[in-house]
A and B are shown apart, each in its own frame.
Chain A
Amino acid sequence: MRATSKLLTLAGRVYRLLLYVYPTPFRREYGFDMAQVFRADTHDTLQECGMAGLIGLCFLTFTDLLKTAFAEHIWEVFHMPMEKLQRLSGPAAAIGGSVWVSSIIWIFGFEPRVNWEILVSILVVVFLLSGLLMGMGLGGLYRRLPTGSHPAKRLTFGLSLLGLVLYNAASIALFLTMTSRLDEFSLIAIFGSFFAYFLGIAGMGIIAMSGRVLGRWSFTPLAVSALGLLFIIVVPKTGEAGQGSLAQSLPVLALLALYGISWLLLGVGLWSTHEEPLVRERPA
Chain B
Amino acid sequence: MTEPDLESLLPLSPSVFHILLALADEERHGYGIMQEIRLRTDGQVRLVPGTLYGAIKRLLAQQLIEEVDARPDPAIDDERRRYYRLTDFGQRVLRAEAARLASLVRQAEAKQLLSGWSQSLATGGE
Contacts of A68 in B (CB 8 A): 50-51, 54
Q: Verify A69–B50 contact, CB threshold 8 A.
A: yes
Contacts of B54 in A (CB 8 A): 68, 71-72
Contacts of B50 in A (CB 8 A): 34, 61, 64-65, 67-69
Cβ distance B58 to chain A, nearest Cβ, rounded Å: 8
Contacts of B81 in A (CB 8 A): 33, 36
Q: Which of A35, A37, A38 has the most CB atoms of chain B within a 10 A radius of its CB?
A: A37
Q: B47: nearest residue on chain A (CB-CB)?
A: A64
Q: Verify B31–A41 contact, CB threshold 8 A.
A: yes
Cβ distance B47 to chain A, nearest Cβ, rounded Å: 9
Q: Verify A37–B31 contact, CB threshold 8 A.
A: yes
Complex-state Cα separation, A32 to B30, whole angstroms: 11
Contacts of A37 in B (CB 8 A): 30-31, 34, 49, 52-53
Task: Give the total number of A-B pairs whose CB atoms are below 8 A apart.
Answer: 56
By size class, the interface of chain A is: 20 to 34
Complex-state Cα separation, A116 to B119, whole angstroms: 56
Contacts of A29 in B (CB 8 A): 57
| Per-residue contact bits, chain A 1-30, to B (CB 8 Å; 1 contact, 0 not) | 000000000000000000000000010011
Q: Verify A61–B48 contact, CB threshold 8 A.
A: yes
By size class, the interface of chain B is: 10 to 19
Complex-state Cα separation, A21 to B103, whole angstroms: 41
Interface residues of A in 186-243 (CB under 8 A from B): none
Contacts of B31 in A (CB 8 A): 36-37, 40-41
Interface residues of B in 7-66 (CB under 8 A from A): 30-31, 34, 46, 48-54, 56-57
Q: Verify B57–A60 contact, CB threshold 8 A.
A: no
Cβ distance B20 to chain A, nearest Cβ, rounded Å: 18
B3 close to chain A: CB less than 8 A: no
Q: Verify A32–B80 contact, CB threshold 8 A.
A: yes
| Per-residue contact bits, chain B 86-112, to A (CB 8 Å; 1 contact, 0 not) | 000000000000000000000000000
Complex-state Cα separation, A61 to B48, whole angstroms: 6
Cβ distance A32 to chain B, nearest Cβ, rounded Å: 7
Complex-state Cα separation, A30 to B34, whole angstroms: 15
Contacts of B46 in A (CB 8 A): 60
Cβ distance A40 to chain B, nearest Cβ, rounded Å: 5
Q: Verify A30–B48 contact, CB threshold 8 A.
A: no
Cβ distance A16 to chain B, nearest Cβ, rounded Å: 11
Complex-state Cα separation, A41 to B81, whole angstroms: 15
Contacts of B78 in A (CB 8 A): 36
Q: Verify A34–B49 contact, CB threshold 8 A.
A: yes
| Per-residue contact bits, chain A 110-144, to B (CB 8 Å; 1 contact, 0 not) | 00000000000000000000000000000000000
Q: A29: nearest residue on chain B (CB-CB)?
A: B57
Contacts of A34 in B (CB 8 A): 30, 49-50, 52-53
Complex-state Cα separation, A38 to B47, whole angstroms: 11
Q: Verify A38–B49 contact, CB threshold 8 A.
A: yes
Q: Verify B51–A30 contact, CB threshold 8 A.
A: no
Complex-state Cα separation, A199 to B78, whole angstroms: 60
Q: Which of B48, B50, B56, B82 has the most CB atoms of chain A within a 10 A radius of its CB?
A: B50
Cβ distance B68 to chain A, nearest Cβ, rounded Å: 14
Query: Which single member of B30, B48, B51 contacts A33 (CB below 8 Å)?
Result: B30
Complex-state Cα separation, A40 to B52, whole angstroms: 14
Complex-state Cα separation, A61 to B53, whole angstroms: 13
Contacts of B51 in A (CB 8 A): 64, 68
Residues of A within 8 A of B (CB): 26, 29-30, 32-38, 40-41, 57, 60-61, 64-65, 67-69, 71-72
A-B contacts, 15 listed (Cβ < 8 Å):
A30-B56, A32-B80, A33-B49, A33-B53, A34-B30, A34-B49, A34-B53, A41-B48, A41-B49, A60-B48, A61-B48, A64-B49, A64-B51, A65-B48, A69-B50
| Chain A to chain B: the 5 pairs with minimum beta-carbon distance, closest first | A68-B50, A34-B49, A30-B53, A64-B50, A64-B48
